[in-house]
Amino acid sequence: MHSFGHRDGEIIVVDNNSTDRTSQIASEFGAAVVFEPVNQISRARNAGAKKAQGKYFIFLDADTFLSAGLLKETLNLLDSGKIVGGGTIVDDSQVSIAREKFLIRLWNFISRFRKLAAGLYLFCLADAWRGVGGFDESVYIAEELIFSKQLKKWGLKRKMKFIIMDIPIQTSWRKFQWFDYKTLVASLAFGWFFKKNKAKCHVWYERKEVRK
């Protein structure tokens, strides 16, 4: 257990076939490490959730920074009893290229308008995760979009809301270095239609050398 201000919580790191010292470093810092042998985002998320014992779940990508302010507001929302889950907007301040910044801002608009959480930061009630059956393991991408929709339906029946906050969260944007812009745009635009075909979801699973 770890102390977060006036409350305790768990930090669970899912090792989904990492090739670096992820597991060792996480263990050294006191995190519980879960190994998921099948390289699939939804399975990794579910593996961590199955290990968790708390009443709230926060799913955070490994290359994403969770600020104390965002964590505090997330817990306040969940404590209210009116929120089933949600996410937050993505920080574009570390991106300088206009067309890349446009993609981030476009996503933030869609996220707010459609009430869909980005996979890099998603939170919910543990009971809601169980109630909807966790993340859909039949897909290789877009699991967070499907999960967002399921949470909204689960919450609506209980008069609870799914919310997108306006506290920007920072992430690495390494995919802008790994893949060319056209590849990224095509993957984002048409990804929903091939979400069950892992070979066509390579942008989410493949690592590239940094382009010069």
Run means of pLDDT, 10 residues per run, the chain, 212 residues? 72 93 92 96 98 97 94 97 98 93 96 98 98 98 98 98 98 90 93 95 80 42
Percentages (nearest 5) of helix, strand, coil residues in the chain:
45, 20, 35
For the beta carbon of residue 9, count every other beta carbon within 10 angstroms.
Answer: 17
Return the structure tokens found at 40.
């699939």
How deeply is 199 buried, as exposed, middle or buried, from its count of CB atoms within 10 A (0-12, 13-18, 19+)? exposed
| 28-36, Cβ contacts within 8 angstroms, sequence gap of 24 or more | 30/2
- Which of 112, 10, 8 is closest to 60 using CA atoms? 10
How deeply is 10 buried, as exposed, middle or buried, from its count of CB atoms within 10 A (0-12, 13-18, 19+)? middle
For the beta carbon of residue 155, count every other beta carbon within 10 angstroms.
Answer: 23
Strand segments, DSSP code E, in the chain are 2-4, 7-9, 12-15, 32-35, 56-60, 64-65, 83-90, 121-125, 161-171
What pLDDT, on a 0 to 100 scale, did the predictor assign at position 201? 95
- Which of 89, 111, 87, 91 is closest to 100 using CA atoms? 91
> Is 34 in contact with 15 (CB distance < 8 Å)?
yes
What pLDDT, on a 0 to 100 scale, did the predictor assign at position 37? 96
What pLDDT, on a 0 to 100 scale, did the predictor assign at position 3? 59
pLDDT (tens digit per residue) in 147-205: 999 999 999 999 999 999 999 999 998 888 899 999 999 999 999 999 999 999 999 99
Q: Where are the domains of the chain?
A: 2-205
Q: How far apart are CA 115 and CA 53, in angstroms?
A: 27
The amino acid occupying position 193 is F
Q: How far apart are CA 91 and CA 100, in angstroms?
A: 12
Residues whose CB falls within 8 Å of the CB of residue 52, separated by 6 or more in sequence, listed in order? 10, 12, 126
What pLDDT, on a 0 to 100 scale, did the predictor assign at position 211? 43
**Can you name the CATH fold of 2-205?**
Spore Coat Polysaccharide Biosynthesis Protein SpsA; Chain A (3.90.550)
